[in-house]
Structure 1
């Protein structure tokens, strides 16, 4: 009888433990192993912002963005990081994905400290290194900006070299290319290494009538998760905001993260910290009218190759505050 009571007690305890564990949903995030989003995700885990918002964040590092998308689309991950234009394209193709703002940080054009270039017009005849491919969104915006402000056809008047961000970074520092278009964190390192910013994408976007405060990058989840477990999705958004508030104000938190940032000098470290902080979007919903204008420009510049069937902003692209 005593044995039965003990077994019964153990079973009851196991059931309670399992129930308690089951009540804390796990959110699997598939992200680039060395991407800057890891700084925020690490902050969320370190300070328990996930637990405080009712979920357990599990970070899965992958080698590339395409691997993250495969994991997400195949059900092996619950959330990835991508830009909302990709989400809009997917929604137009019938995939129910939803975007939660993460960052408004964008790239720009860097030249060597000894370069005589003062505008994009001065890059005629030069070689430009571009992180990504011919449909890279920054490259498209900069082409439109150059045409509007300087009457320059950057694609025709320059030689383009398309490669991964680290290769463009090295080519720019070595002088193999006369100018480089790269992601913001590589630009921060380039500037810290003595290169000079010629124009950034946010400036170009403003000249084209776009709102540079529209967050381009964000967490992407599936619509059924939003409907079936809105507390989990809103918990992710809240945890992200808590981490951003800490990173925006606490230098000690950056000191804790420094080893993970791969900064090779104090100048690089400070540039990365400043760049991340500058990219923190304001709280509140995305301005969908501003986003619609950006999508229209992307359709005009990149056509169906870039935006697929998305010729207007699909309803439900952004997580609404009432979700």
Structure 2
């Protein structure tokens, strides 16, 4: 079973990532940390607690992390609405926040575990991860791998060439990509293939559970927002693709390539510059980029996780 820390900024697609991480029998979600990104930290943290309560994820420590990027003020992602999770009503949290700062929860969890047993899965700006490296560099050698949602080889969404998570805190992204650990970039090149189509919605509707309806409500708002903001017929559900890569690496095809984050360009800040020329890829290259997605198998994992969580809730209700 793969152990992960999910560092997130919920966010509609982060909600699905949380459900996939806890609902998959192949993942042990050992900690959740939040960061300012899709909305301000107060909102992303409240959203994380509400999502986890809705999905019955009440036995995992949750800690709030960094309020703002390393440099600059940060921005919100309008596509998620004013609350960062518009379109659904969240329950009151069933758990308290861990008193530690999110960066300290990341460090403590990694340092207390056996080396190479925990993977980091950041699905928001990389501020918490960069700060953890700076505060405790020994985590670099102890983390199994970093599989992050962000960036892209050929496409941007927060500028012509930069993806939101990287563009919001490019200095943090530079630190994370440059550190000597295994990094897999799950970028827009493949997450734009993870579309919540009518067929996907029908499979979730067929589950006939309150959690399934909650997901459908998420999709409904996200679909309209993505259509209005970016012209998509169906919304791409980015973040759970990173979790799926941990569960079954064969679902997401990758190429090994050096990846650099542009932090100085007037028009290219936040661009993830991916070196694909074979002669310029060193044998010890520690970064790779996602290039393909088996969307059907990906959605099978997601639907199965939502079903599993919904059935667990039903069983718990019957027992009580």
| TM-score, normalised relative to structure 1 | 0.29
Higher helix share: 1
| TM-score, normalised relative to structure 2 | 0.29
